[in-house]
Amino acid sequence: MEYRLLGRSGCAVSAHCLGTMTFGNESDEKVSHAQLDLFVEQGGTFVDTADVYSAGESERIIGHWFASRPAEVTERIVLATKGRFKMAGDPNGLGLSARHLTRALDASLTRLGVDAIDLYQAHAWDPLTPIDETLRTLDGFVRSGKIRYYGFSNFTGWQLTKAVARARELGLVAPVSLQPQYSLLVREVEWEIVPAAQDAGLGLLPWSPLGGGYLTGKYTRDQRPAGDTRLGDNPSRGMEAYERRGTARTWDVVDAVQRVAEGRGVSMAEVALAWVTDRPGVTSTILGARTVDQLATNLSAAGLHLTDAETAVLDEASDLHAPDYPYGELGLDQRDRAV
């Protein structure tokens, strides 16, 4: 396992992060604990969850694991969680207000059974709460010792830039990370979000690096998802819906990943994970797995680096072919300058 600094902080984390959205939902406590054990055995140190995952059950399962394992194991873990989404039925039961975030953090600390969170993340932008209020609240959490660092998730480029600028203007503790959806199938973040994060010195923590399972080869262009897969019960599920994501470009990318995987003698998942983990600005790629075997396969990507030729094949297949303005050739030309 490789290790990298979390943004401009001095905190080192494993280049792969164990995502726990399945804990308490698709993975029961026994399987979840087995995943945590395997992850640590393989050198993993970074674990990510959120209060909204399985309505708090993911955090409780992680808390039980912390309580049942020796300190020499648990002290290696850099623990991240998130707050923002609905955890109560009242109007203040969600958002990035001081009131909600304070209650959300306290509840997360209780479920996790820890005194402090290493990385606390605003799970998404809140259009109603002034960003100054959110930033002052997060700054207060750091200064009080409840969290050690903070970051954002699912922010757009302008939202991220505004938040970073305001933190500097107000003299507050700066954020260290951004958690966006990023994969060979979702490269739109490279137009504005990745450059904004790099400019601010934030480490990227890509989620859904396997494109909801498409990049593992489990779905095909000729057959709707069925059986024991994430989309098997409901092919119209969310962002990964077969009708939404099953485009010609998707299958072109899947074919390219398969070619590279066969040439390397590794799984398609390993290739897709290696590609995103080595993208500019990436600190740690979040692995999500329903089973221990799936996690073991994903962890095989640790230390795998693609050649320039292999990367070029994947880049070409996944190219979004941006329109000329502002992200295409003419737009880029307007921003170019040579001496």
Q: For residues 2-32, b (16+ Cβ closer than 10 Å) or e, as one string?
A: eebebbebebebbbbbbbbbbbbeebeeebb
The CA distances from residue 86 to 146, 154, 219, in Å, are 21, 16, 32
**The residue count for the chain:** 339
Catalytic residue, chosen from 53, 120, 214, 242, is 53
3-state helix, strand, coil in the chain (%, to 5): 45, 15, 40
Hey, what are 247's tokens? 């485009």
Specify the amino acid at residue 338: A
Q: In the annotation, is 53 catalytic?
A: yes
How many other C-beta atoms can be found within 10 angstroms of the C-beta atom of residue 134?
25
* Calpha distance 256→278 (Å, rounded): 18
Q: How many helices (H) and strands (E) does the chain have?
A: 13, 10
N- to C-terminal Cα distance for the chain? 41
Question: Three-state SS across 150-183?
Answer: EEEECCCHHHHHHHHHHHHHCCCCCCCEEECECE
Tell how far CA 147 is from the center of its chain. 19
The CA distances from residue 55 to 125, 183, 191, in Å, are 20, 26, 33
Return phi, psi of residue 83, to 5°.
-145, 145
Report which of 13, 322, 311 is spatially closest to residue 184, judged by C-alpha positions.
311
Report which of 165, 170, 197 is spatially closest to residue 182, judged by C-alpha positions.
197
**At 216, is the secondary structure helix, strand, or coil?**
helix
Active site residues: 53
